[in-house]
């Protein structure tokens, strides 16, 4: 695990399992129907208790229709160590000319604003859109880390973590962090 501090706030980059994080909230890289699925989304649904989480997610979808890329909603964490799950939809990579960078930045920023609005002080993120949605890892890392750094400096949360699955992902994000974040 590597960390950066910005005043009295901290950013961690670590390799691990998002579903075991002991933070106030974890972020789910959800689909627009909040239906669970593969990757991080499926793992969070299984670990939280699929039936209860799915029931709450479907109530949200009945109210809003679908969750567009870049937006975020919050549910209880149920069986997770985290009290809350913030669900956000990242963009599907289509070459970068269809608003994907802005949508990805919004996914992180809106999750952090929602955390602030619910008095959440610690939050853990996956690499949103970097799995089956195909976002290039280095570009996603630059957007995510820049947004996290700015949000921490604003004091939206006290502590944020990027929790990466596997050594290759961890190494790629750490390499990007070391080029764009201030030395610690």
Catalytic residues: 41
For residues 74 and 123, is the Cβ–Cβ distance under 8 A? Answer: no
- DSSP assignment letter at 20: G
**H or E segment to which residue 72 belongs:** strand 72-76
Q: In whole angstroms, what is the distance from residue 164 CA to residue 172 CA?
A: 10
CB 57 within 8 A of CB 85: no
Helix boundaries (H) for 92-136: 100-117
């Amino acid at each position: 695990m590597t960390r950066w501090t910005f005043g009295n706030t901290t950013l961690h980059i670590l390799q691990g399992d998002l579903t075991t994080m002991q933070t106030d909230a974890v972020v789910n890289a959800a689909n627009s129907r909040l239906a669970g699925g593969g990757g991080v989304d499926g793992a969070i649904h299984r670990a939280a208790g699929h039936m209860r989480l799915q029931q709450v997610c479907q109530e949200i979808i009945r109210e809003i229709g679908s969750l567009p890329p870049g937006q975020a909603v919050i549910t209880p964490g149920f069986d997770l160590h985290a009290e809350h799950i913030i669900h956000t939809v990242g963009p599907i990579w289509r070459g970068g000319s269809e608003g994907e960078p802005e949508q990805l930045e919004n996914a992180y920023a809106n999750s952090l604003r929602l955390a602030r609005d619910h008095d959440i002080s610690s939050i853990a993120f996956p690499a949103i859109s970097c799995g089956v949605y195909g976002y290039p890892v280095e570009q996603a890392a630059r957007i995510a880390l820049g947004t996290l750094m700015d949000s921490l400096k604003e004091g939206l949360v006290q502590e944020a973590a990027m929790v990466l699955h596997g050594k290759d992902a961890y190494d790629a994000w750490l390499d990007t962090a070391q080029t764009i974040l201030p030395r610690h």
